[in-house]
Structure formats: C-alpha cells, structure tokens
Amino acid sequence: MKVAVVGYPNVGKSSLVNRLTQSREAVVHERAGITRDRKELSTDWNGRSFTLIDTGGVALEDDDPLSVSIQDQARAALADAQVALFVVDARAGMRPGDAEIADILRKGNVPIVVAANKIDSPNDLMLVHDFHALGLGEPVAVSAAQGLGTGDLLDKLVELLPEDDEISDDPDEVVRLALIGRPNVGKSSLVNAFLGFERVIVSDVAGTTRDAIDTPIMVEDRKLILVDTAGIRRQAKVTESVEYYTTLRSQRAAERADVALVVCDAQDGITSQDLRIAELAMKSGCATALVLNKWDLTGGDGDPLGPGGGIGPEELDRERRRVNNKLRLRPRVLTASAMTGRHISRLLTEALSIADRARHRIPTPELNKFLGEVVQQRQPPSKQGHRLKLLYISQIGENPPRFAIQINSRQRITRDYAYFVENRLRERYGLDGVPVIIDFVERKNRSRTERMA
C-alpha cells in the first residue's frame, strides 16, 4: 500500500516523511526544490505496513523543464498510490498553488488527507483553519520538526488505506541492483531505459538526482530492485551540504545492494574517479561491473557485433586491461547506450548472473579437483627449504563467496600466491567482479596418540 506525499515546494514534505518513517533517508535542505524524484520509504503504524512516496515540490506556475518533470513525477506518484497526503505550510497560509494542487488531487480518485505542517506550538493551531477552504476535509495539524500531531496523522492514513493482501518477497530471490557513478554519466537515463518509461527525472544539469530511489522491475520472471543513486563527486568538490549528503546516500545504496553497476561516460573512458567509486562498492561487499554508457556518442562498437569508428575494440580492450590491473576484483567492463537502448537488456541479464554467481555454492569435490590443478599449474612457494602445501578446500559461505583452504604453514603463504589462487578461482567459476574471501587455515599437527587412534 502506498501514500503519495505532495505539496508546494519547501512546505516540509521530506521532513515530514523522515518523521513518519523515523529515518533520515529523504534529503532535507532549507533551499526549495532539493527533492526532485519520487522516493519510496517504508513504515508501519498499529500493525499496518505501507510506503510513503516523497515527491518533488509542485510549482504549477513554473514552466522550467525540470519543474515540469517534477510535476509529472508527482502525478505519476498519485497514479501509483492508494491515498494522497497533501502537505501545506500553515505559517505561509493559503497560496494560489495550493488550490491548483487540490484540483489535481480531486481528479486522482483517491482519498486525500491535508497535513498543515509547521504547527510547532499550540498557539499556532488557529493557522490550520485557512485550509478548510480547500474543500478536502478537516486538516490535520502537524509539526515535522517537533513531531506534534504525527500520531493523529498516521491514524488517519492507516484508516483510509485498503486492506493489504500483498505477499512479502523472499529476500533470497530478490536481487538489489545499485547504479552508482559520477554526476551526469547517465544513471537516471539507464533506469528509465530499464523500465521503458520516465520513472526517474533526467536532466542535463549535473546532480539532478539527490536521493537513492528504489524501483522494482521484473526481469526473466525474477524480481530485481533498481537503486538509482545520486552522483558521487570527488571529495574536494563536495562544497555543499546537499552534495555531502548525496555522497552518503550513494555509499549507503551500495552497502545494501547485491550488485552495483558503476556507470561511466564512454566519451571520458574509465576515469580514476570511476575506479575509486568501483572500489567503494567492492569494499561494501557488493558484486560489481563497470558500464561505459553513452556508447552511441563515441561512434565505437567494441564487441563482436561489428567494427565501428572512433573508439573501437582495441581501445575497449585497453580499458579492460587497465581495470584488471587496477581493481583486485577484476570486474567486467560492458558497453551500453541509454539513448538508443543498445545492450540495455544485456546489462540486466548480467546483473542477475553476477548475483547468482555470488550466491552459488560450489561442491567440495569439485573445489579440491580445482585445487590440485592450481598446484600443478604453479608450485606453492617454499621458505628455508620447506614448501607450502595446500591440503584441502571447502566453501564456507556465499554472497560473498567464502572459502577455507587448509595449509601446512601460514608462514609460507605469500601475498602473490594468495592472489594467484584467488584469480584462478575467479577464472574457473566466473567470479569476475564478485568479492571473494579466502581463509588460509593452518592445520595443526596431530599428537602421536591421535595418529595411532
């Protein structure tokens, strides 16, 4: 069940959403217009669970293309909701735009609750009466800042919500996919290309997306949740608090995702900042691949589908070798174009495949056969005349995959040989871009009594 939260810019919608969900997920800033996309946050009250859709402020008199997109997103949120929560600024009083928004809500054919925000003390209660003129019923006096009246508001919302007959999803089956990257590399355009319609606002202004937005999608009869994130900028350029919090949102999105696609601008190639963002995802334990978006603008092809001008197979191979040398997880480098739709479905298929490989458990006999081949391929190192022995391997965890290798002496293992074993594991079992943990466990010498038993 969903509640669409709409209203004039800067009336405190995001602050109220944070208060009702007891979180800080929605970006709050004193500047109007910070929330631009729909953001969905779950909450519960009196045993009922539902989702609040935080929308951008609707300024109907503004013809700016971005403002028009925000209006369209608010209308789309209403179409997806069972109840509308219309937030007004009680201190500012009735505005002409409030009446226009009320007219739109009446056409939405869903129950409407008016929340008169910024009633921070009992002395402010008289300010609520102005909003009876909207003709939408009794306004509920609330204070997002103080928390006053929020219980009454939640009671009213839950009362209007229809009975929820949805079945919860099995978290082991759902794949969470985060799109992360520098600002303006086309993350939101990719989300829209995945979905086939404009779910996320796309603008050529860098940094349009401020929040991480979760959107479910079905791919090959499987549920995948897209997490579109705010662009990550180099720390030296994070001069505004909005950008600072945007970076935190992106990091948090990577931490709760199963797979991250690091979106890069194909015209720039894979930059050092792109590599740092990939490292961020990998340190979060997230399986990762890099995507060169805007491939149509390079004139290149770079894959078996055929040769192209501009950036071609040789340049793409060079980028892939650079990624393999720089990033320990050796993630795949894919090409796509959100504009033309090129390879869009392949990206989603690859994301599911990476997630499956990260969750897969390899049989122990197969692993030990592999271990024998590794030792034959390259003899383990020796120190002071004593050689390292790899005795036994088993998988002890998944997502990310974790392996335990019993050895005769930890002192004889070298970082170089440990990386060699890890890379062979990736090659054999398709674990490119998947965090792999290997525990080298020293087998203790058994006592004479144990050996004779």
The response to whether 17 counts as a known ligand-binding position is: no
The response to whether 380 counts as a known ligand-binding position is: no
The response to whether 369 counts as a known ligand-binding position is: no
Task: Note the pLDDT tens digit of each residue in 267-303.
Answer: 888 988 889 888 888 888 889 999 999 887 766 544 4
Confidence of residue 76 (pLDDT cuts 50, 70, 90): low
The response to whether 10 counts as a known ligand-binding position is: yes
212 near 181, Cβ under 8 Å? Answer: no
Three-state DSSP state, 451: helix
The response to whether 13 counts as a known ligand-binding position is: yes
Per-residue tokens: 59: 């300024």
The response to whether 207 counts as a known ligand-binding position is: no
178 near 257, Cβ under 8 Å? Answer: yes
On the 0-12 / 13-18 / 19+ scale of CB atoms within 10 A, 316 is buried
Task: Note the pLDDT tens digit of each residue in 423-451.
Answer: 999 999 999 999 999 999 988 765 444 44
The response to whether 39 counts as a known ligand-binding position is: no
Q: How far apart are CA 262 and CA 331, in angstroms?
A: 10
Q: What is the DSSP letter of 342?
A: B
The response to whether 11 counts as a known ligand-binding position is: yes
The response to whether 232 counts as a known ligand-binding position is: yes
Confidence of residue 373 (pLDDT cuts 50, 70, 90): very high
The response to whether 296 counts as a known ligand-binding position is: yes
The response to whether 185 counts as a known ligand-binding position is: yes
Q: Which of 334 and 191 is assigned the larger pLDDT?
A: 334
Q: Which of 100 and 329 is assigned the larger pLDDT?
A: 329
The response to whether 293 counts as a known ligand-binding position is: yes
- Predicted structure pTM score: 0.58
The kind and range of the H/E element at 378 are none
The response to whether 223 counts as a known ligand-binding position is: no
> Position 290: which residue type?
L
The response to whether 230 counts as a known ligand-binding position is: yes
The response to whether 120 counts as a known ligand-binding position is: yes
The response to whether 151 counts as a known ligand-binding position is: no
The response to whether 192 counts as a known ligand-binding position is: no
Q: What is the DSSP letter of 165?
A: -
Task: Note the pLDDT tens digit of each residue in 7-35.
Answer: 877 788 888 888 888 765 443 334 444 34
Burial annotation 54-92 (CB, 10 A radius, 16+ → b, else e): bbbbbbbebeeebbebbbebbbbbbeebbbbbbbbbbee
